[in-house]
Amino acid sequence: MLQRDFTKRPRAKKTLKETQQYLDLALHAGNIGLWHWNIKTNTLYFSPEWKRQLGYQDHELESRFEEWEERLHPEDRDSTLAALKAYLEGRRRGYEVEFRLRHKDGSYRWMLARGLLQAGPDGKPYRISGCHLDITERKRAEEEHARLLIREQTARAEANAARQQLGNILERISDAFVALDRDWRYTYVNQQAATLFGRRPEDLIGRHIWTEFPEGAGQPFHMAYEKAMAEQVFIQMENYYEPWDRWFENRIYPSPDGLSIFFHEITERKRAEQAARESAELLRCQNQVLELIAEGAPLRETLDFLLRVTEAQCPGMLCSILLLDPDGVRVRHGAAPSLPESFTRAIDGESIGPQAGSCGTAAFRREPVIVEDIATDSLWDDYRDFALKHDLRACWSVPIFDEQRRVLGTFALYFHNPGRPTGRHWQLIEMATHTAAIAIVKNRETEALRASEERLRLAVIGGRVGIWEWDVSTNRVVCNGQLKAMFGWPEAEDLTSKKVMGAIPSEDRLRIDAAIQRSPSHPDYDVEHRILWPDGSLHWIATKGRVEYDAAGNRVRIRGVSVDITDRKRAEEETRRREALFAEAERIAHLGSYEWDLRDSKVYRSEELCRIFGLLPDQFEPTFEGYLERVHPEDRSTTKQIIEQAFRELEPFEFEERIVRPDGAVRLLHSQGKWMFDEAHHPLKLVGICQDITERKQAEDQLRRSEERFQIVARATNDAIWDWDLASDALWWNQGITTLFNYAAEEVGTDSGRREHVHPEDLERVVSDIRAVMDRGEQFWADEYRFRRADGSYADIFDRGFVIYDGTGKPIRMIGAMNDISERKRALEILEQRVASRTAELESRNREREYEISPRKRVEELLRARNEELKAFAYTVSHDLKAPLRGIAGYAQELDGRHRASLGERALFCLKQILTATHNLDRLIEDLLHYSRLDAETPTGAEVNLAHMVEAILRDRKPLILEQGAEVAVSLSSTSVRTWERGLLQVLTNLIDNALKYSRDAKPPRVHITSQELSDAVRIVISDNGIGFDMKYHDRIFGLFNRLVRQEDFEGTGAGLAIVKKVVEKLRGRIWAESKPGSGAKFFVELPKGRTAGTGK
């Protein structure tokens, strides 16, 4: 049984504790830190003393390997870790290493580390325990000792080497070196110093410095030598040695035995420093000038400041800038702050040239001109006395250029003594000319901008231009007063886009919205629109704007200008009205105009001229020869001769000529031409007219022939022809008054005189009937009355007259003829007796004729029956045939719509044939019904506008025209015709459809629609460039159901042209065609003028 004495355990703990305390005191006193590292568990222990060695309290530092590793000095880290690793691996017998660890204050402490490795039961390293000893102080002492030892050894070596090599060193150094004793005598002079002095070293040894170089006494370096010797202080100084014009740097080392002086020349460095200071000063001055330019100071002020700061760099220098006029001929005073004012006034405005002083010559040559002596230089011959009067002896001038090498002016330097520029002067010149160029160009740009802005302001005010900006996000409009005035608003009116757009009529707003809402690739727009003023009046505005977009393509801002174009629009409207009136006047007068511009050989021909020639505008050949081809062959030579003579002599011409229209019609023209000249009497253009005087000539001829016939009739007839002038009551008679009544014409020279010869019983009736005809505005009067012959007997006469009225409806003249019917009256009485007997005979004959007329009435009844049968046939076709046809078509469409997917290829083909056949049969029936109904229709008259009707037909067929790429040209000389509107629409529609159909394979299809005014009809021509036809089938094409092409090639029933022909005949017109196979076809329709065919109206 094991028994223990537990009374001893407290004593052992106490003893252990005391022992631990003694150990801690010993470790602290010995500055020893302990550490233990359990390799197997990788746990580490640092004693409090170990941590205090590095400046940490126990709780401030963890016991980790990294805490130690991270504090190793970089230079010791690798070697220390390598030593530890070698010990752990058994490659090192013991572990004792010196290294540095980082202290808490950042410094490094030297440590001596010792460790002992303990192995585990398996023989492998188990743990290592050790200590750190702070050996920093020891290390410092060792380093200091080593340094002292090295220093001592080095000092001895250096002293020996210095004594041996001092001479060589002093000779090899680049500095000059001299040694002076306390009596100021040279004890050593190296070769560099001797070279500077211009002496040999041996000639100076033992000599007194101030005796050899007395000019140095009193210089700054002399004072420095004295001070260094007296105060035994080192002095380093730089000084300028005026006798040699050189700068030196001196390093003066005193000793009880004298002075050692090292010195070397620094002249170049000093000059470079001076140049740098001067450059910096120039840069500062230039910056000040540039600031004035940037601030927009006046040019004169800027140039004056530039010259003042330039002059400050070289006292005694006088600067000047002259500015070259825009004409490049004269120079103007720009700035010259130090030159006499009388001198600057004298040269202001002088011309540049090859010998115009320094400045004028420099501007002329475009290069620097250096005049070293004004008194002798020939360039100053014209200005020498004036310059010398102001004590100006030298002048160097340099041209001032802009970036494009254009001369802006000159910069000049004047001096009171002759001389030429140094490098410093050229530096000042370069700075001044460059800066002056900037100032001048900036001033010109500013002046140009100011002038441009002023012109813009005047243009905006004078041109009444409204300027505006619309912020889309805020919907606010900013504009000038001109825009508000355009809208009739007061200046103080606040605007929004809604208010502005509200003043624009809705149809104009749509165009503006369309222009604004285009893509960002088309930001600009130009629109003319109307605005409604508050007073209700309409005005016109032209607006140009640009839309701005953000990165996402959204509109953010719109800017623009607007101009009131109301007056222009009114002028344009008036111009259009006058042009329309002029064109109408030309049309009424059958007068066409032309203009031939000789400068570009362009010829203008009015529409009426083209109508006179029977041509479209593009059919008029633009040559003289082409024109002659239109002249009648019999007149061609004369026309050519007259115009060529007028061209040679540049004289106006006037003549009559005949032309031949394309349809063969001959027209007579009255042609005139006149030349227009420039100021030098060179011909510019020929203007002229051609008037169609065919009808006038015909009327004149008819009038002439009528006059001739009248004279012949008047002489040949037995009637007494009279002409009564109502204003003067004068009455003219032909020979008949003498032949019939035996009066001389002057005996019955007035109407009052004629009345005296009328039988009293007839007079009142004759006079009142004539007066009543005139009061009613009628023209014809006739009456029978008795007229007294010269022998007193009365003749029975038949008198008739024709009344002529003036423009106001007032009767002014009456022409008539008196016929003696006395014998006729007696013959009439006899005739009446014979008529009575004959009447009985005729009544008997009439009864016989009635019997003969009966068969004709039976024929008329038969025709009426046939017409009724035709109507019944049309009804049968319309109802009995179309009903089953609709059933067939309905079933076929149901098959196609619902069962198409289940049908075979052959069945689909048959179905297609059925649908096509029913469609064609339906159209055939419709055309047949239409054809049959035409006989029953009665045309009604109306004024039809041909242009509007053709335009409506083409508008309905626009998709087909676009699909075929067809070119359709319309030129209608007749604007309206009185006819049956529905019938004409049927004719034009069928003919235009045929033209489009049969020309669809042409490349491209072309259809022309024209009209011509004939004397008694209107001719309409519709032509195409389609397949055409052989003219031997001309009559057949107008037959019912006659086709010249297969239906598979061109759809149709063959009834269209038959219907057209029947309608035209119903309108009492005529239709025919002209064609060649493959060359298209041309269809002609002529409709009579003056009444509606078929109505008698």
- pLDDT confidence band for 855 (50 / 70 / 90): low
- Of 991 and 585, the one with more pLDDT: 991
Asked if the model's pLDDT at residue 1 lies above 50, the reply is: no
Q: What is the pLDDT of residue 1084?
A: 94
> Structural domains in the chain?
26-134 (3.30.450.20), 173-265 (3.30.450.20), 298-447 (3.30.450.40), 586-698 (3.30.450.20), 717-820 (3.30.450.20), 826-936 (no CATH), 938-1088 (3.30.565.10)
Examine the pLDDT at 630 and tell me if it is beyond 60: yes
Q: Give the pair of three-digit tokens for residue 457.
A: 């302001």
Q: What would you measure as the largest C-alpha separation in the chain, in angstroms?
A: 217
- Percent of the chain clearing pLDDT 90 (strictly above): 13
Q: Are 653 and 646 in contact (CB under 8 A)?
A: yes
List, for residues 418-459, the tens digit of each pLDDT value. Answer: 988 988 888 888 888 888 888 888 888 888 778 776 666 666
Name residue 1019's beta-bridge partners: 1012, 1086
4 has a pLDDT exceeding 50:
no
H helices of 173-266, where? 191-197, 201-204, 209-212, 220-231
pLDDT band of residue 1050 (cuts 50, 70, 90) is low
Q: Are 103 and 109 in contact (CB under 8 A)?
A: yes
Q: Are 593 and 587 in contact (CB under 8 A)?
A: no
Please report how many Cα atoms fall inside a 13 Å half-sphere around the Cα of residue 329, on the Cβ side. Answer: 1
Residue 851 in this model has a pLDDT that exceeds 70 = no
Q: How much is the pLDDT for 735?
A: 85
The first and second tokens of residue 89, run together, are 């691996």
Confidence of residue 412 (pLDDT cuts 50, 70, 90): very high
| Alpha carbons 69 and 67: distance in angstroms, whole number | 6
Mean pLDDT across 561-587: 78
To the nearest whole number, what is the mean pLDDT of the chain? 81
Helical axes 423-462 vs 267-295, angle rounded to 10°:
10
Q: What is the mean pLDDT of residues 832-844?
A: 67
> For strand 318-324 and strand 407-415, is the pairing parallel, antiparallel, or unpaired?
antiparallel
What token pair was written down for 305? 């400041």
pLDDT of residue 1094: 46
Q: Are 545 and 558 in contact (CB under 8 A)?
A: yes
Task: Collect all residues with Cβ–Cβ distance below 8 Å to 979 and sequence separation of at least 6.
Answer: 939, 941, 942, 944, 1067, 1087, 1092, 1093
Report which of residues 271 and 1078 the model is more confident about. Answer: 1078
Q: Identify each DSSP E strand in 305-393 by its residue range.
A: 318-324, 331-335, 369-371
Closest residue by Cα to residue 408 from 502, 297, 299, 518 = 299
**Strand residue runs (E) in 952-1080:** 967-972, 976-979, 1006-1013, 1017-1024, 1070-1075
Strand partners, 969: 1008
Specify the pTM. Answer: 0.34
The count of C-alpha atoms lying within 13 angstroms of the C-alpha of 962, restricted to the half-sphere facing its C-beta, is 5
Beta strands in 842-980 (DSSP E): 942-945, 967-972, 976-979
pLDDT tens per residue across span 990-1047: 889 888 888 888 889 999 999 888 888 889 999 999 888 888 777 777 776 666 666 5
State the Cα torsion 44-50-56-59 to the nearest 10°.
40
Residue 234, burial from CB neighbour count under 10 angstroms (0-12, 13-18, 19+): exposed
Check residue 1090 and give its pLDDT: 63
Helix, strand, coil distribution of the chain in percent, nearest 5:
50, 25, 25
Identify whether the C-beta of residue 290 lies closer than 8 Å to the C-beta of residue 435: yes
Higher pLDDT, 463 or 658: 658
- Measured in degrees and rounded to the nearest 5, phi and psi for residue 295 equal -75, -10
Task: Summarize the confidence of residues 856-870 as an average pLDDT.
Answer: 57
| Helix axes of 905-933 and 882-898: crossing angle, nearest 10 degrees | 150
How would residue 805 be classed by pLDDT, with cut points 50, 70 and 90?
very high
Token pair, residue 561, equals 């200008």
Supply the pLDDT for residue 2: 35
Distance CA 1030, CA 506 (A): 57
Report the C-alpha gap between 632 and 634 in whole angstroms.
Answer: 5
Mean pLDDT of 490-517: 82
Predicted confidence (pLDDT) per residue in 41-88, tens digit: 888 888 888 989 899 998 888 888 888 989 999 999 999 999 888 888
Per residue in 945-986, pLDDT (tens digit) is 888 888 888 888 888 888 888 899 988 876 678 888 888 888
Instruction: Let me know the angle formed at the C-alpha of 382 by 378 and 384, rounded to the nearest 5 degrees.
Output: 70
Mean pLDDT of 762-781: 91
Task: Look at residue 860 and tell me whether its pLDDT is greater than 80.
Answer: no
Q: C-alpha 939: how far from its chain's center?
A: 58
- Give 996's contacts (C-beta < 8 A, 6+ positions apart): 957, 960, 961, 964, 966, 1005, 1007, 1024
Greater confidence (908 vs 1027) lies with 1027
Our separate counts of H helices and E strands in the chain read 33, 38
Average pLDDT over residues 735-747: 88
- What is the pLDDT, as a whole number, of residue 1042? 63
Average pLDDT estimate for 589-595? 80
pLDDT above 70 for 872? no
Spatial CB neighbours of 61, under 8 Å, sequence gap ≥ 6: 46, 51, 54, 67
Task: Give per-residue pLDDT as tens, 352-403.
Answer: 888 888 899 998 999 999 998 988 888 888 888 888 888 898 999 999 998 8
pLDDT of residue 15 exceeding 60, the answer is no
pLDDT the model gives residue 463 = 60
Ranges 223-227, 587-591, 609-613: which has the least confidence: 587-591
